[in-house]
Amino acid sequence: QKEVEQDPGPLSVPEGAIVSLNCTYSNSAFQYFMWYRQYSRKGPELLMYTYSSGNKEDGRFTAQVDKSSKYISLFIRDSQPSDSATYLCAIGKNTGFQKLVFGTGTRLLVSP
């Protein structure tokens, strides 16, 4: 079983839709959770980062963590064509140094 599972998509939505992207993980030792966005032919860039269960909001983006279910989500409100990218979840443990485990990424396509 992979440490992090993520549906590769593609997920196609019309502009303005609410998008839900999800990951599940297998090891309860993971303590912090990140979402990275990767445009085609570019490096990933950090969108959101959270430690605790619950919701964290930043503009149109909301990260949600449910540690009891080992389930993390990223919601995008009022999606825009510029949101079309691959979204990667990443999880890590507090070991004193950072060794993130990435999901395979979900490709999102937002059509005008």
Partner 1 sequence: DTAVSQTPKYLVTQMGNDKSIKCEQNLGHDTMYWYKQDSKKFLKIMFSYNNKELIINETVPNRFSPKSPDKAHLNLHINSLELGDSAVYFCASSQLERNGVGELFFGEGSRLTVL
Percentages (nearest 5) of helix, strand, coil residues in the chain: 5, 55, 45
Q: Does position 98 bind partner 1 by CB under 8 A?
A: yes
Q: Does position 88 bind partner 1 by CB under 8 A?
A: yes
Q: Stretches 10-18, 64-72, 73-81, 94-102: which one binds partner 1 (CB under 8 A)?
A: 94-102
Q: Stretches 18-26, 59-67, 69-77, 89-97: which one binds partner 1 (CB under 8 A)?
A: 89-97
Considering only 30, 35, 36, 72, the residue that binds partner 1 (CB under 8 A) is 36
Q: Does position 59 bind partner 1 by CB under 8 A?
A: no
To the nearest whole angstrom, how small is the minimum distance from the Cβ of residue 95 to partner 1?
6
Whether omega before 81 lies within 30 degrees of 0, making that bond cis, reads no
Torsion of CA 26, 27, 33, 36, to 10 degrees: -50
Q: Does position 82 bind partner 1 by CB under 8 A?
A: no
DSSP 3-23: SEEE----EEEETT--EEEEE
CA proximity to 37, closest of 98, 106, 92: 106
Interface contacts to partner 1, rule CB under 8 A: 8, 32, 36, 38, 41-46, 49, 86, 88, 92, 94-100, 102, 104-105, 107
